[in-house]
Homo-oligomer: A and B are copies of this chain.
Amino acid sequence: MAFLNPMETFKSVTARLEALSDGIFGIAATLLVLEVKVPDLPEKYTQAEMVTALLKVFPSFLSFFISFLTILIYWVSHDSMTRILVKSNYRLTWLNLLLLFWIALIPFPTHFLSEYPTDLVAILTYGIVLLLTGITANVTVYYMFFIRPDLVKHSITHDTRVDLFRKYLMGPILYVVAIGLAFVHIYITLALYVLIPVIFFIPVNQEQILKEMGLEK
């Protein structure tokens, strides 16, 4: 039988989970564009009115950019994490699917925030969904690294694991801070929403993480 389907032994343990994840990450990121609405003007309009109308689209464009960037940052981490996986189990699959649930939900708070960019409820909703996404990602990493360390390559030492986990923990902590500061001044929170993905994006930081994980030379 090994002869009939030799691929089976070769197939990555998480091949299909990766395929489903790539699908959901891709769709959630691309669906966001549906919320960047074309300006709606009357039959007769001046060029100045069009420019004003287009400028009003800016918050939804910025939301699109920030959420797209956030989803792709999660995708890059997800890609790194599955690469160091030696095997998987049912619990890890469901933790991963819970992460996909939050990723798939992101278009909702993004749309909400782009419609009401200065509303406290909209700002809190966005922060809470992003916080829950971050917590799920951290629980998943914690499970892989410390509860079932055998799922991960031996070459990733305990020290590297602790170090990586601490770096990932920055995400939820920053969203807690952003949410808290919303009660002081919403513009601080909005600035943090833009800054957080930018911080995580900074190449130096990630190159180092990847080096520690032996994924990049």
Contact = CB atoms under 8 A, between A and B. Distances in A.
Interface of A: 1, 4-13, 15-20, 22-34, 36, 38-39, 47, 50-51, 54, 61, 64-65, 68-69, 72, 75-76, 79, 82-83, 86-87, 89-91, 93-94, 97, 100-101, 104-105, 107-108, 111-112, 115-116, 119-122, 125, 153-154, 201, 203, 206-207, 210, 216
Given A203-B94, A216-B90, A51 B10 contact: no
A65 B31 CA distance: 18
Given A28-B30, A38-B116, 6 more contacts: A11-B12, A27-B27, A68-B104, A72-B100, A90-B216, A94-B201
A85 to B, nearest CB: 8
A-B pairs, 8 with minimum CB distance:
A23-B26, A27-B30, A19-B22, A36-B108, A30-B104, A7-B12, A50-B121, A38-B112
Q: In the assembly, how many copies of this chain are there?
A: 4
Contacts of A83: 8
7 contacts: A1-B153, A16-B79, A31-B31, A33-B108, A50-B119, A72-B97, A90-B210
A90 B203 contact: yes
A1 to B, nearest CB: 6
A57 to B, nearest CB: 8
